A and B are shown apart, each in its own frame.
Chain A
Amino acid sequence: MGLARGVAVVGAGMTRFHHKLHLDKTSRDLFVEAALEALDSVDKGMNLRDIEALYVGNFSSDAFEHQGHLGAIMADWLGVTPVPSVRIEDACASSGVAIQLGILAIASGAFDVVMVGGVEKMRNLSTEEVTDTLAMAADEIYEASVGATFPGLYASMATAHFAKYGSTWEELAAISIKNHHNGSLNPKAQFQEEIMDMARRWGARRGYSFKDEMEFLRSPLNPVVAYPLRLFDCCPTSDGAAVVILASEEVAKKFTDTPIYVRGIGQASDTMALHDREDLTTLKGTRIASRTAYRMAGIEPRDVDLAEVHDCFTIAEVLATEDLGFFPKGEGGKAAVEGRTALDGEIPVNPDGGLKAKGHPVGATGASMVYEVFKQLRGEAGRVQVDDAEVGLIHNVGASGGTVVVQIYGR
Chain B
Amino acid sequence: MSEVRSFTPSSFQAFLEEGRLMGSRCKACGTLYLPPRPLCPRCGDREMEWEELRGEGEVKAFTVIHVPPTSMAGRTPYAVAVVELKEGPKITARISEGQEVQVGTKVVAEFRKEGDKTLLFFKPLGPTSP
Contacts and interface: CB of A to CB of B under 8 A. Distances in A.
Contact of A159 (B63, B68, B71, B89): B63
Interface in B33-81: 35, 60-73, 77-78, 80-81
B108 interface: no
Nearest to B121: A146
A342 interface: no
Given A141-B9, A142-B91, A275-B91, A156 B61 contact: yes
B30 interface: no
A147 B91 contact: no
Contact of B70 (A129, A225, A274): A129
Interface in A132-147: 132, 135, 141-147
* Interface residue tally on B, bucketed by range: 20 to 34
Contacts of B83: 275
B107 interface: no
B82 interface: yes
Given A132-B70, A226-B64, A280-B60, A274 B91 contact: no
Contacts of A67: none
Contacts of B103: 159-160, 162-163
A156 B80 contact: yes
Nearest to A231: B67
A227 B69 contact: no
A276 interface: yes
Contacts of B112: none
Most buried by A among B9, B67, B91, B119: B67
A262 to B, nearest CB: 31
A128 interface: yes
Interface in B76-117: 77-78, 80-83, 89-94, 102-104
Interface residues of A, number: 38
Contacts, number: 102
Nearest to B103: A163
Contacts of A135: 69
Nearest to A127: B67
Given A128-B73, A274-B92, A280-B82, A225 B61 contact: no
Contacts of B91: 142, 275
Given A142-B91, A280-B82, A223 B66 contact: yes
Nearest to A162: B103
Contacts of A276: 90
Contacts of B93: 146
A157 B73 CA distance: 23
Interface string A212-228: 00000000000111111
Contacts of B70: 128-129, 131-132
A145 to B, nearest CB: 7
A225 B67 contact: yes
Nearest to A150: B69
Contacts of B62: 156, 159
Contacts of B35: 141-142
A365 interface: no
A273 interface: yes
Contacts of B61: 156-157, 159-160, 274, 280
B92 A146 contact: yes
A70 to B, nearest CB: 25
Contacts of A131: 67-70
B60 A152 contact: no
Nearest to B81: A156
A149 B68 contact: yes
A165 B34 CA distance: 27
Interface in A145-181: 145-149, 151-153, 155-160, 162-163
A232 to B, nearest CB: 14
Contacts of B67: 127, 131, 149, 151, 225-226
A137 to B, nearest CB: 13
Given A148-B92, A149-B68, 11 more contacts: A131-B70, A135-B69, A142-B9, A142-B35, A146-B80, A152-B63, A160-B103, A226-B65, A274-B61, A274-B92, A280-B60
Closest 8 CB pairs of A and B: A155-B63, A163-B103, A227-B64, A160-B61, A156-B61, A275-B90, A152-B63, A226-B63
Interface of A: 127-129, 131-132, 135, 141-149, 151-153, 155-160, 162-163, 223-229, 273-276, 280
15 contacts: A128-B73, A146-B93, A147-B69, A147-B71, A147-B80, A152-B80, A156-B61, A156-B80, A158-B63, A163-B104, A226-B64, A227-B77, A274-B82, A275-B92, A276-B90
